[in-house]
Chain A
Amino acid sequence: MAVEIGGIGQSVKRKEDARFIRGKGKYVDDVKLPGMLYMDIARSPLAHARIRKIDTSKALAIPGVVAVITGKDLVPLNLHWMPTLMSDKQMVLPTDTVLYQAQEVAAVVATERYIAADGVDAIEVDYEPLPVVVDPIKALQPGATLVREDREQKDNHIWHWEVGDRAGTDRAFADADVVVKQDLYIPRIHVSSIETCGIVASFDKVEGKLTVWMTTQAPHAIRTVIALVAGHLGLAEHKIRVISPDIGGGFGGKVPVYPGYVLAIGASVLTGVPVKWIEDRAENIQADSFARDYHISAELASKKDGTMQALRVKTIADHGAFDAAANPSKYPAGLFHIITGSYPFEKSFVEVDGAYTNKPPGGIAYRCSFRVTEAAFTIERLVDVLALKLGRDPAELRMQNFIPPTAFPYTSSLGWEYDSGDYGRALRLAMDTIGYADLRKEQAEKRKRGELMGIGISSFTEIVGAGPSKNFDILGIKMFDSAEIRVHPTGKVMVRLGVKSQGQGHETTFGQIVAEELGIPVADIAVEEGDTDTAPYGLGTYASRSTPVAGGATAIAARKIREKAKLIAAHLLEANPDDIEWKDYKFQVKGVPSKSKTMQEVAFAAYTNHPQGMEAGLEAVDYYDPPNLTYPFGSYICVVDLDRGTGEVKIRRFVAVDDCGTIINPMIVEGQIHGGLTMGLAPALYEQINYDEQGNIQGGTFMDYLLPTAMETPNWETAKTTTPSPHHPIGAKGVGESATVGAPAAIANAVVDALAHLGVRHIDIPITPWKVQKILKENGVAE
């Protein structure tokens, strides 16, 4: 029965595959409208400069170039600046100063993509270079080059944010037996979904209606933002339709609003013709929101016996030229204060200072909930630093300190209420799966022979599913999410959601939730998302919030339907509703299995034979405001071998035990974990965006921004424990990002472990072969 329904817990094959494997997906760049124009963008080669002159005449002389837009053109429309999601503002196009390399300077609209590119090539800009500041620590020093002249505040400090008990934590440190301290830099990286960002904007002058197809993870929020930014041009929210078609990966990079979107919309409104803008990869990496870039100084206090007591963390957050992060409004540093991780610190204190620099704006996630990877990496590294200081086995030290399963719901010293967890069970399973004890033996033997292998553990706790409306909003919009379910007379179902899949398989998993709740086969359930004209309002898909929030909405909307259906079933069965039970995916008279009605029969009756006095039809909407966040967790163990000659790190094995509560579709969950692990591997060993002193990007294309291939990626081994979330309607916690959060520390810990006998305590990621080789050389063990 269950298999047929394809309900919760089944590895139902994905519905969305049918179009993708045939090349019939519809991504933004596949949208082609009659008369459509193409836009391309000229960008600044300098990181900080005054624009003396923009000469567009040569570009305009090219046959096929329709228009060139510069900042000056936007001033009368009041579109030269736009708000960011973080109460900052951002230039759409500069009127006099550029603040970072690759910043948009002018847009060319032409009849063809190639001609638009020629137009960009023909734009001549005369720049007067200005001093550049790229290091946020220097940027915060007095007398530093001022990045944002437009602000009243004449320094580069954006905000200070702190949480926890400063005095109590200081006291705990003063009294502690043992204190370890570690500075960590978590470098700037970029999500680099394989599809870049783009838009097709189509303004119908007669109807006054704007339709946009856009690579966005949050179509509804975007609609509201467009209405807020361009309302004065006559764009009202009911005349704006945002369609987020198939999305080729998001990972956080498709949450913000980029100037290119605004320019394409502006160009379409002005010309009355559809305008397409698709950024190329260099633009995507060089100008779109980055992630991380946190300079962290972390300290941990413990007793002699290893009992962890207090945590103190100071961080400088580099936001580039504009704070264009996409955090919930109240949390400028996101949920970074999940940094106490899986451990019951009595006292903790965290402070973060945001800084402006002459670098691209951002501070978004990278397949992780807001700043959670930064937190998990820090605490899991720090625990290993403590283990080394105390001469303890890192697994054992974790086991000793974990928040015990009996302590849930557990309120952390930084104010989070963890819903459920059993950290020891996950770590034990990981250790058993990988054969931890044997590996330690092997390591000892190898060390004697001069061979370098390391074992690294990460027992992370995530925080996802933003979030409860009392604390969570973006631009004031509460972070609920929604589902609307309609059961048609023939028992087929249409589900519409406020979230938006970018590869997570929503058409399948949300169908499974409904299948489970309504007893209708998943094949008969259509799931639609991403069209603001039809879908209910929601905040979108990022920070692993779809399952925790929209999944809750879906289950509850389905339950609303079941409640009504029960009354109809009672009517059909001529029984008292109290005598009807939902069993084996059917309504039956209690104790009389022969007297039953299927949901399909009830659905038909809802339109043809519903009880007198009842509204016809069978549908429900739910706007789900989660009572709490969810706290997925896991334990990862990584084994590495190091090449003593070249410093290369080879991952031999990696076991990931995840606990994301109730699993809707094990196949999809495993796929999410594989992908997340690979995006954890990437920053651990390969990816980084650096800037030289002049603010020139280092690694702005896939030649130098190193996404792992199938050759670098190990054959991930996964396992699971299941600790349902007590407050979630189906007990699910969300999983899309756990692995990205947990993996980097496991890998870094493994490499440090391989070198620990040489006195190594930390290596900043990405752990490149030359960092390792330098250590080997300094210690006289290099080949």
Chain B
Amino acid sequence: MIPASFEYAVARDVADAIQLLGSSGGEGKVLAGGQSLIPLMKFRLAQPGLLVDINRVKGLSDIRENGELRIGALVREADLDMNAIVRERYPILVDTTRVIADPLVRNMATIGGNLAHADPANDHPATMLALRASVVARGPKGERVIPIDEFFVDTFTTVLAPDEILTEIRIPKRPAGGGGAYLKLERKVGDFAIAGVAAMVVMDEKGRIAAASIGVTNAGPTAIRARKAEDILRGQSPDDKTIAAAAAAAAGESKPWSDLRGPAEYKLDVIRVLTQRAIRKAVARATGGK
């Protein structure tokens, strides 16, 4: 499996990348970790005319927390996993990154690429939905901040223009009483999800769920938010009945399809089960447990 021929250019900085993409007549593609793009190119399912390699662009690989958590688009999954801030305060991100592909792929794969690729089977989208993240994009007209809810358009399509670069992901600071978890079921380690569920909750002092957000992987053309499930949880105490109702609602909002990862009907059950387990885990984390 050999990619078709293409032109290649290393971007010096973001502006350079934007310029290169702009002058490619729509033929250009950003190369980040390459772990989605190169496999597609090897099967000649993608045949970009120009690859703009952003791997040497400085300033896109930082993880900082000031007011909010800011993750550079080029941060590799392996670095996300090892980051002290993330490990300490955002275990849902650790949950997510650790179930993406395998350790070798994670050494290359970037979080920005994971979102920009807009594969509903990718794991970060659901987690970012649950985290109420936003992404920062820069293009010829400047920078814009896109709420994650507005980012995914369709499978493999985002609101990014062909000459826009995703530069950063911003995640609201974990609130007091907040906790989250991502659970994924896969056919084997390294595989994409049969289904995955990300749950974030904020607990109030009375032990009730003040806020909840839930994202689901592989449940539609893009990762989805299970808003009805969120509504059911809001203001309730996390008892079995409430959680079960929310989980049922999450499945109800999901539209998985039958494929080699199982029949749609099965996936609905998996989404329901994972939602229950993810909420429980999120609540446990929010209330100080593991």
- Listed in ascending order, the chain A residues whose CB lies under 8 Å from chain B are 113-114, 117-118, 121, 280-282, 645-648, 686, 698-699, 703-704, 706, 708-709, 711-712, 768-770, 773-774, 777, 782-783
Q: Which residues of A contact B277 (CB under 8 A)?
A: 645
Complex Cα–Cα for A643 and B194 (A) = 15
Q: Which residues of B contact A698 (CB under 8 A)?
A: 260
9-residue interface stretch from B1-9, B63-71, B228-236 = B1-9
Q: Which residues of A contact B2 (CB under 8 A)?
A: 113-114, 117-118
Partner of A773, one of B187, B188, B190, B266: B266
Is there contact, CB below 8 Å, between B269 and A782? yes
Can you report 12 A-B residue pairs in the complex whose CB atoms are below 8 A from each other? A281-B1, A645-B274, A645-B277, A686-B188, A699-B260, A709-B188, A711-B188, A712-B189, A768-B187, A769-B194, A770-B262, A770-B263
- Listed in ascending order, the chain B residues whose CB lies under 8 Å from chain A are 1-2, 4-5, 44, 102, 185, 187-191, 194, 260, 262-263, 266, 269-270, 273-274, 276-277
User: A118-B2, A118-B5, A121-B44 are known contacts; what are 19 more A-B pairs with Cβ within 8 Å?
Assistant: A114-B2, A282-B1, A645-B269, A645-B270, A646-B270, A648-B185, A686-B188, A699-B260, A703-B191, A704-B260, A706-B187, A706-B188, A706-B191, A709-B102, A768-B187, A769-B194, A769-B262, A783-B273, A783-B276
Q: How far, in Å, is B279 (CB) from chain A's closest CB?
A: 13
Is there contact, CB below 8 Å, between B187 and A686? yes
Q: Which residues of A contact B194 (CB under 8 A)?
A: 769
Complex Cα–Cα for A655 and B166 (A) = 52
Complex Cα–Cα for A706 and B191 (A) = 9
Is there contact, CB below 8 Å, between B189 and A709? yes
Q: How far, in Å, is B105 (CB) from chain A's closest CB?
A: 12
Q: Which residues of B contact A645 (CB under 8 A)?
A: 269-270, 273-274, 276-277
Q: Which of A282, A708, A769 has the most CB of B within 10 A?
A: A769
Partner of B266, one of A282, A711, A770: A770
Is there contact, CB below 8 Å, between B188 and A646? no
Is there contact, CB below 8 Å, between A774 and B266? yes
Complex Cα–Cα for A770 and B270 (A) = 9
Q: Which residues of B contact A282 (CB under 8 A)?
A: 1
Complex Cα–Cα for A280 and B44 (A) = 14
Q: How far, in Å, is A490 (CB) from chain B's closest CB?
A: 48
Who on chain B is nearest to A709 by CB? B189
Complex Cα–Cα for A118 and B189 (A) = 34
A712 with B1, Cβ < 8 A, contacts A646-B270, A770-B266, A774-B266 known: no
Is there contact, CB below 8 Å, between B260 and A646? no
Q: Which of B2, B194, B262, B277 has the most CB of A within 10 A?
A: B2
Q: Which residues of A contact B269 (CB under 8 A)?
A: 645, 773, 777, 782
Is there contact, CB below 8 Å, between B190 and A709? yes
Complex Cα–Cα for A93 and B188 (A) = 37
Complex Cα–Cα for A648 and B277 (A) = 15
Q: Which residues of A contact B266 (CB under 8 A)?
A: 647, 769-770, 773-774
Q: How far, in Å, is B271 (CB) from chain A's closest CB?
A: 11
Who on chain B is nearest to A777 by CB? B269
Is there contact, CB below 8 Å, between B273 and A121? no
Is there contact, CB below 8 Å, between B188 and A769? no
Q: How far, in Å, is A292 (CB) from chain B's closest CB?
A: 18
Q: Which residues of B contact A118 (CB under 8 A)?
A: 2, 4-5
Is there contact, CB below 8 Å, between A711 and B185? no
Complex Cα–Cα for A117 and B270 (A) = 41
Q: Which residues of A contact B5 (CB under 8 A)?
A: 118
Q: Which residues of B contact A712 (CB under 8 A)?
A: 188-189
Q: How far, in Å, is A61 (CB) from chain B's closest CB?
A: 15
Shortest 8 CB-CB contacts between residues of A and residues of B: A645-B273, A117-B2, A770-B266, A711-B189, A770-B262, A114-B2, A704-B260, A280-B1
Q: Which residues of B contact A699 (CB under 8 A)?
A: 260
Q: Which residues of A contact B276 (CB under 8 A)?
A: 645, 783
Q: How far, in Å, is B240 (CB) from chain A's closest CB?
A: 12
Complex Cα–Cα for A24 and B277 (A) = 49
Q: Which residues of B contact A647 (CB under 8 A)?
A: 266
Is there contact, CB below 8 Å, between A121 and B1? no
A646 with B187, Cβ < 8 A, contacts A114-B2, A770-B266, A773-B269 known: no
Who on chain A is nearest to B1 by CB? A280
Is there contact, CB below 8 Å, between B260 and A121? no
Q: Which residues of B contact A773 (CB under 8 A)?
A: 266, 269-270
A121 with B262, Cβ < 8 A, contacts A645-B277, A712-B189, A782-B269 known: no
Q: Which residues of B contact A686 (CB under 8 A)?
A: 187-188
Who on chain A is nearest to B192 by CB? A703
Q: Which residues of B contact A769 (CB under 8 A)?
A: 185, 187, 194, 262, 266
Q: How far, in Å, is B245 (CB) from chain A's closest CB?
A: 15
Q: Which of A118, A121, A646 has the most CB of B within 10 A?
A: A646
Q: Which residues of A contact B4 (CB under 8 A)?
A: 118, 121
Partner of A646, one of B102, B185, B189, B191: B185
Who on chain A is nearest to B102 by CB? A709
Complex Cα–Cα for A704 and B188 (A) = 10
Q: Which residues of B contact A280 (CB under 8 A)?
A: 1
A708 with B262, Cβ < 8 A, contacts A280-B1, A782-B269 known: no
Q: Which residues of A contact B260 (CB under 8 A)?
A: 698-699, 704
Q: Which of B5, B263, B269 has the most CB of A within 10 A?
A: B269
Q: How far, in Å, is A34 (CB) from chain B's closest CB?
A: 23
Complex Cα–Cα for A630 and B188 (A) = 36
A646 with B273, Cβ < 8 A, contacts A712-B188, A712-B189 known: yes
Q: Which residues of B contact A121 (CB under 8 A)?
A: 4, 44
Q: Which residues of A contact B263 (CB under 8 A)?
A: 770
Complex Cα–Cα for A703 and B260 (A) = 10
Complex Cα–Cα for A263 and B189 (A) = 38
Who on chain A is nearest to B260 by CB? A704
Q: Which residues of A contact B187 (CB under 8 A)?
A: 686, 706, 768-769
Q: How far, in Å, is B146 (CB) from chain A's closest CB?
A: 30
Who on chain B is nearest to A120 by CB? B2
Who on chain A is nearest to B183 by CB? A646
Complex Cα–Cα for A102 and B118 (A) = 30
Complex Cα–Cα for A281 and B187 (A) = 20
Who on chain B is nearest to A710 by CB? B189
Q: How far, in Å, is A189 (CB) from chain B's closest CB?
A: 15
Q: How far, in Å, is B238 (CB) from chain A's closest CB?
A: 17
Complex Cα–Cα for A63 and B100 (A) = 41
Complex Cα–Cα for A114 and B102 (A) = 28
Complex Cα–Cα for A698 and B262 (A) = 12
Is there contact, CB below 8 Å, between B188 and A708? yes
Q: How far, in Å, is B199 (CB) from chain A's closest CB?
A: 15
Complex Cα–Cα for A706 and B270 (A) = 20
Complex Cα–Cα for A711 and B103 (A) = 12
Q: Which of B1, B44, B189, B266 has the most CB of A within 10 A?
A: B266
Q: How far, in Å, is B106 (CB) from chain A's closest CB?
A: 14
Q: How far, in Å, is B275 (CB) from chain A's closest CB?
A: 11
Complex Cα–Cα for A773 and B2 (A) = 40
Q: Which of B188, B274, B276 has the most CB of A within 10 A?
A: B188
Q: Which residues of A contact B188 (CB under 8 A)?
A: 686, 706, 708-709, 711-712
Is there contact, CB below 8 Å, between A768 and B185? no
Q: How far, in Å, is B187 (CB) from chain A's closest CB?
A: 6
Complex Cα–Cα for A699 and B185 (A) = 19
Q: Which residues of A contact B262 (CB under 8 A)?
A: 768-770
Q: Which residues of A contact B191 (CB under 8 A)?
A: 703, 706
Q: How far, in Å, is B94 (CB) from chain A's closest CB?
A: 18
Q: How far, in Å, is A193 (CB) from chain B's closest CB?
A: 18
Q: How far, in Å, is B110 (CB) from chain A's closest CB?
A: 20
Q: Which residues of B contact A774 (CB under 8 A)?
A: 266
Q: Which residues of B contact A777 (CB under 8 A)?
A: 269
Q: How far, in Å, is A200 (CB) from chain B's closest CB?
A: 19
Who on chain B is nearest to A712 by CB? B188
Who on chain A is nearest to B277 by CB? A645
Who on chain B is nearest to A768 by CB? B262
Q: Which residues of B contact A703 (CB under 8 A)?
A: 191
Complex Cα–Cα for A354 and B44 (A) = 38
Who on chain A is nearest to B190 by CB? A709
Q: Which residues of A contact B270 (CB under 8 A)?
A: 645-646, 773
